Amino acid sequence: MTRIKFGASPSRLATAFALASIVIAGLASHARAEKNDTPGVTATEIKIGQTMPYSGPASPYSAIGKVESAYFKMLNEKGGVDGRKIDLISLDDGYSPPKTVEQTRKLVEDDKVAFIWQSLGTPTNTAIEKYLNERKIPQLFISTFASKFNDPKHFPWTMGGLGSYRTEGQIYAQYIKQHYPKAKIGVLYQNDDYGKDYLQGLREGLGDKASMIIKEVTYEVTDPTVDSQIVELQGSGADVFYDISQPKFAAQAIRKAYDIGWKPVHFLNSVSSSVTAVLKPAGLDKSKGIISVIAFKDPSDPRWHDDQGYKDWLAFMQKYYPDGDTADLNNVYGYTQAQMLVQVLKQCGNDLSRANIMSQATHLHNFAPPMLLPGITIDTSATDYQPLKKVRMAKFNGQTWEIFGDVMQVGSAQ
């Protein structure tokens, strides 16, 4: 209870006026709060949480959490979203599902975040999906493109970050059938839902030509290297290499294939297309000719250096994240994801209930963050949670990704 002290001898009129002002202010505050009784939401703040692999085998992705934190620092200096500042609590889970569960429980039960946003990894997000859905807490724009996270019927509170591993795999399959109809395909994939999703897309895209896959080998995230797997794929006689590996292992695969003289047509999953995190460690010369798909303006490509979206991103990086690598696509991805979240929060207006946050996230239409390639937009619906449905093919020329072909409408794999 708040006690108000007016002084020694206030007039009745002054007292009445003061009391009336307090009542009116209280009513206004209540009106604002009754729509925003979400944990972590106040009149001045929105508290959100995420887990990131700041350590462990997926640590090259840690740039994503760092650039997102920097973005909200910039945003908060400008007043936040409708007067509310964003408090992002980003915790290390080491890409370990048990640790993800522990850290997510802390975020929800101790830190009282409004929702979970951008937590990274397929196995890690799988570990917390049921927990969050049972509590009707948004698991929003998570950093995994596994098609399983586009399942609004069974997990209505979970939404993936951009595209779909399966549809990306289908794109590579179509390209291989068209340009390499006699290919002998060797596959390296991570032995979990992430790797299997990509492989399923390839098989679906090949259809009755799936026998083109002559060898499949796996690795575990705890493996020290994939050198033996690359040697095994070379020995199979494969002349097309479908590489489904995260950055650490993708760099090893590129380097080992080059060093043993294996020169297949190399298709690299887009989650490992970072010049900084993968291609430079592998060797730019050893990476030349690799094919992938891309949805972002590659900051290492001079064609974008007069583009206003690129200039704004670069100015942001130089001021708020000067230690970040401006050639790293992860820093473009995280920046874009932050802009997607801001758009959702703006659409929410003053109704920041968890239900409305999720509703607005499923109603993004023709949203075009400035670092997406021209012609590519973010679109979601209540029945299709996949935000990104368009990409371009790209080939690495030894310095940057060269885009070729038209914008490809890939749809969703459900």
**Model pLDDT for residues 144-178, shown as the tens digit of each residue:** 989 899 999 999 999 998 888 999 999 999 999 99
Three-class DSSP category at 184: coil
Its CATH class, for the domain covering 45-162+305-383, is alpha beta
Say what the pLDDT of residue 35 is: 52
CA-CA distance, 349 to 137, in Å (whole number)? Answer: 19
pLDDT above 90: residue 4: no
pLDDT, residue 68, reads 98
Residue 6 has pLDDT above 80, yes or no: no
Write the pLDDT tens digit of every residue in 268-286.
999 999 998 899 999 999 9
Q: pLDDT > 90: what percent of the chain?
A: 84
Instruction: Summarize pLDDT for 381-409 with one digit per residue, the tens.
Output: 999 999 998 899 999 999 999 999 888 87
Q: Give the chain's mean pLDDT.
A: 91
The domain ranges of the chain are 45-162+305-383, 166-294+395-409
Looking at residue 37, its pLDDT comes to: 84
Q: Determine whether domain 166-294+395-409 maps to CATH 3.30.2000.20.
A: no
Nearest to 91 by CA among 64, 60, 65, 63: 65
Residues 6+ away with beta carbon under 8 Å from 94: 53, 54, 55, 56
Q: What is the pLDDT of residues 25-44, one digit of tens each?
A: 444 444 443 456 899 999 99
- Residue 21: pLDDT above 80? no
- Cβ neighbourhood burial of 154 (10 Å; 0-12, 13-18, 19+): exposed
- Per-residue model confidence (pLDDT) at position 235: 98
| Phi and psi at residue 179, to the nearest 5° | -105, -20
This prediction has a pTM of 0.84
